[in-house]
Amino acid sequence: MRIPTDARRRLRRARLILLGAPIVLVALLVGGSPAAAQDPEPTPSLIPGPPAPTPIAHPGGSGDNQCAACHVSLDDKQQAITQAWQEGIHGKGGIGCADCHGGDPRSDQITVAMSEEAGFIGIPSRDDTVGICGSCHSDPERMGQYGLPTDQYSKYWTSVHGQRLLEADDTKVAICIDCHGSHAVKKASDPTSDVYPLNVPQLCSRCHSDPTLMESYGIPTDQYATYEQSVHGQALIGNQDVRAPSCTSCHGSHAAQPPRSSEVVDVCGKCHTATQDLYLESRHAELETAAPKCWTCHGTHDVAKSSEALFFHPEDDPPDYECTTCHEPPDMTLKLNVEQFDNEADRRCDTCHHPESLIYPQVEAIAGALAGASSAQETAAEKVERARSLGMLVDDAENALAEALTAYVQGQAAVHTTLLTTISGHTDESVAKANRAEELAQGKLDESDFRRMAMIVVIGLLLANVVILYYVLRRIEHGQDQGQDAEPSP
Partner 1 sequence: MATSQAAPRGSSDGVPRRRFLGLLLGFSVVSLGAMVAAPIVAFLLPPKSTGAAGGGKTLVGTVADIPLGQGKVVPVGSTPAIIINTEQGVKGFNAICPHLGCIVAWDQGAGNIVCPCHDGRFNASTGAVVSGPPPSGLPPLDVSVEGEEIYVVSA
Partner 2 sequence: MAVDDMPVPTPPVSSARPGTLQRVDDWVEERLGWHQLAGVLLHVRVPIRAKTFFFGGITLFLFGVQIATGTLLALYYKPTPEAAYDSVIFITSDLDFGWLIRSVHHWAANLMILFLVLHMIRIFFQAAYKYPRELTWIVGMGLLGVTMLFGFTGYLLPWDQRAYWATVVGTEIAGGIPIIGDFALEVLRGGADVTEATLSRFFGIHVLVLPLMLGAIVAVHLVFVHQQGLADPKEADPRPPAVPTGRTKPFFPNYILEEVIAWLFLLAILVVMASIWPAGLEEEANPLVTPEHTKPEWYFLGVYELLKHIPIKVVGILTPVVFLAILALLPFLDRNPEIRARKRPVAIFLGIVTIAVLIGLTIWGYVS
Q: Residue 328 belongs to what H/E stretch?
A: strand 327-328
How far is it, in rounded angstroms, from Cα 29 to Cα 465?
85
* 8, 92, 243, 452: which one binds partner 2 (CB under 8 A): 452
* 277, 393, 398, 420: which one binds partner 2 (CB under 8 A): 393
How far is it, in rounded angstroms, from Cα 49 to Cα 154?
7
Contacts (CB under 8 A) with partner 1, residues 19-58? none
How far is it, in rounded angstroms, from Cα 433 to Cα 163?
57
- Binding segment toward partner 2, per CB under 8 A, in 183-191, 270-278, 294-302, 476-484: 476-484
Rule CB under 8 A: say whether 459 interacts with partner 2.
yes
Q: Which is nearer to partner 2, 69 or 472 (CB)?
A: 472
The closest alpha carbon to 348, from 325, 371, 370, belongs to 325
- Binding segment toward partner 1, per CB under 8 A, in 26-34, 91-99, 351-359, 401-409: 401-409
Q: Which is nearer to partner 2, 371 or 476 (CB)?
A: 476
Rule CB under 8 A: say whether 94 interacts with partner 2.
no
Q: Residue 363 belongs to what H/E stretch?
A: helix 360-389
375 Cβ neighbours under 8 A, 6+ residues apart: none
Asked whether 380 and 390 are in contact (CB, 8 A), the reply is no
Q: Which does residue 87 touch among partner 2, partner 1, none (CB within 5 to 8 A, set by kind)?
A: none
- Assign 3-class secondary structure to 28-97: HHHHCCHHHHCCCCCCCCCCCCCCCCCCCCCCCCCCCCCHHHHHCCCCHHHHHHHHHHHHCHHHHCCCCC
138: buried, middle or exposed (CB in 10 Å: 19+, 13-18, 0-12)? Answer: buried
Residue type, 266: D
- Binding segment toward partner 2, per CB under 8 A, in 70-78, 106-114, 265-273, 446-454: 446-454
Contacts (CB under 8 A) with partner 1, residues 467-486? 467-469, 471-472, 475
Q: Rounded to the nearest whole angstrom, what is the least distance from the CB of residue 439 to partner 2 in the complex?
A: 17
Q: Rounded to the nearest whole angstrom, what is the least distance from the CB of residue 271 to partner 1 in the complex?
A: 8
Residue type, 423: I
Rule CB under 8 A: say whether 395 interacts with partner 1.
yes
Q: Rounded to the nearest whole angstrom, what is the least distance from the CB of residue 434 to partner 2 in the complex?
A: 22
Q: Rounded to the nearest whole angstrom, what is the least distance from the CB of residue 241 to partner 2 in the complex?
A: 23
Q: Rounded to the nearest whole angstrom, what is the least distance from the CB of residue 154 to partner 1 in the complex?
A: 30
Asked whether 70 and 166 are in contact (CB, 8 A), the reply is no
Q: Rounded to the nearest whole angstrom, what is the least distance from the CB of residue 229 to partner 2 in the complex?
A: 29
Asked whether 312 and 318 are in contact (CB, 8 A), the reply is no
- Binding segment toward partner 1, per CB under 8 A, in 149-157, 318-326, 434-442, 462-470: 462-470
Q: Which is nearer to partner 1, 170 or 396 (CB)?
A: 396
The alpha carbon of 74 is separated from its chain's Cα centroid by a whole number of angstroms, namely 48
The backbone torsions φ and ψ at residue 333, rounded to the nearest 5 degrees and listed phi first, read -75, 155
What are the residues binding partner 2 (CB under 8 A)? 390-393, 395, 451-452, 454-455, 458-459, 462-463, 465-466, 469-470, 472-473, 476-477, 479-480, 483-484, 487, 489
List residues near partner 1 by CB under 8 A: 239, 241, 271-275, 277, 394-396, 398-399, 402-403, 405-406, 409-410, 412-413, 458, 461-462, 464-465, 467-469, 471-472, 475
